[in-house]
Amino acid sequence: MSASQPISPELALVSPELRLQWTRALPDVDPDELFRVARTVRVARPAAATQAEPRMPFFLAAAIYTAAGLGTSLLQGALTLAVVAGVALILTLAG
């Protein structure tokens, strides 16, 4: 089999001849090189270039979150009540 023909990776694992051929074709890699990590470069922060936005107070954020949840629940409850009342009205008038 020539090197220009693509083969399935599964076939290279099963066939001993192909496995040997493709293992020889792999580049030589230093095992210690695999675990070397480049050092991170720390970049200094710019000196107060822009003012950060002030954070919302916790209790205000909690109140908004709670109000939004209550509003959604009330809307879903009202919609459910309207559907049940509508179905009950239709069944009462029909029968």
Torsions phi, psi of 30, nearest 5?
Answer: -75, 120
Answering whether pTM is above 0.85, one says no
Residue 82 to residues 78, 86, 93: CA-CA distances in angstroms? Answer: 6, 6, 16
Q: For 57-80, how does the pLDDT look when each residue is reduced to its tens digit (9 = 90+)?
A: 999 999 999 999 999 999 999 999
Q: For 8-33, how does the pLDDT look when each residue is reduced to its tens digit (9 = 90+)?
A: 777 777 888 888 888 888 888 887 88
Which residue, among 21, 18, 17, has the nearest Cα to 8 in the 3D structure?
18
Listed by start position, the domains of the chain span: 66-95
